[in-house]
Amino acid sequence: MVERALREPGFRGVCIREVQKSLKQSAKRLIEDKIEEHGLGSLFDIQTAEIKTPGGGVIIFQGMQDHTAESIKSLEGFDVAWCEESQSLSQRSLTLLRPTIRKDGSELWFSWNPTRKGDPVDLLLRGDNTPTGAVVVHSNWDDNRWFPGVLEQERLDDLENRPEIYPHIWEGGYSKVVEGAYYALSLIRARQQGRISRVAADPLLPYKFCVDLGGTGAKSDAFVGWICQFVGREIRVLDYYEVKGQPLSSHIAWLRKNGYDAGNTDVILPHDGATNDRVIDISFESAFISAGYKAEVIPNQGRGAARMRIEVGRRLFPSIWFNESTTEAGRDALGSYHERIDDIRQIGLGPDHDEFSHCGDAFGLMCLAYGDGPRVQPSAIDKYRESHESAESGSWMSV
């Protein structure tokens, strides 16, 4: 931006964040440091709230959250808008900003460390329909010719001691782990051990659809389900389903569309699956049975039920395999299922009830349904595997 201001007298730039309560949260200090570092102070007029550039131009600093459809018009005519920490930009902010800035020759710059695949900036610039003329650069620590030794040691320490967050911090991966995440390390170990791969269904065994119930209103909880099979000493997780605000008929339609019909699929419900809905006066259990499915309701474990599900899930995790292509969304949510932390006392307060908890609850229900031992006799492929212990781990999954 400093270079553009020198090359183009009258240059007008705006530095943007989603939330900017003060200039301390802006890129102003960074730009000032670059001006000073290159000995350009005599060409720029650094003022309290903005920086005057050669030829009567200006660089200003704005928070998008403070703008309305009317106030955003003040940015018309600017040459460059640089959006820093763009992973925090809302879809509303992008919708306001893009048509306002876009004059001939103008540019929008977005810099960010990816957080989630569904973030608006990721959908815009890393989705299926990248804007015409966009240039997207993936840059990491190993692209930095001036990468200092002290940061290299930090990187190696994180690789060794905090592998669950290393991909996000150092390699530009999406953030799949939050503080207090219950299954983050288990998922990393599953990946390292080849248990996230291509997992085939056993055609002789029934599927289990293990769910966490949701409602049909716009503000209702999500309805979540894991499709799995209990195969000897293993749980093979084959598919994941999550929707919000949809009726029961939509869930049944999805099951049938994907080959999980009443003849080969048992539905595993939480304790409230036997409770009648207040509106339609029918329970999920009876509704699935009416559709031809076998339905099993897991009894209420009482006080501490959520923690019990988590402990069972952690204990069984080394025996769980995931079909990679169809369970990605579920694994992402499972990696973010986390403890609610007391900020002052720094103690855990139990599972946080947020958008990830429904996935975690359904996963825990699946593990409770499996119990302490196999529900079925080992299949032929398991017997073959046990008799060939020297075979490469995981290779049998592609037979």
Please report the pLDDT score of residue 279 as a whole number.
44
What pLDDT does 219 receive?
65
| Fold agreement between 2-141 and 196-376 | no
Q: Residue ranges of the domains in the chain?
A: 2-141, 196-376
> What is the pLDDT, as a whole number, of residue 79?
95
Q: What whole-number distance in Å separates Cα of residue 88 and Cα of residue 133?
A: 23
What's the pLDDT at 348? 57
Provide block-wise average pLDDT over 10 residues at a time, the chain (399 residues): 95 92 85 94 94 96 84 88 92 90 90 87 91 92 94 91 80 71 85 93 95 76 94 95 89 95 93 61 84 90 78 93 95 81 59 81 93 47 42 33
The CA-based diameter of the chain, rounded to the nearest angstrom, is 81
Give dist(CA 82, CA 103) in Å, integer: 15
Q: What is the pTM of this model?
A: 0.58
Determine whether domain 196-376 maps to CATH 3.40.190.10. Answer: no
Res 338: pLDDT: 66
The CATH code that applies to domain 2-141 is 3.40.50.300
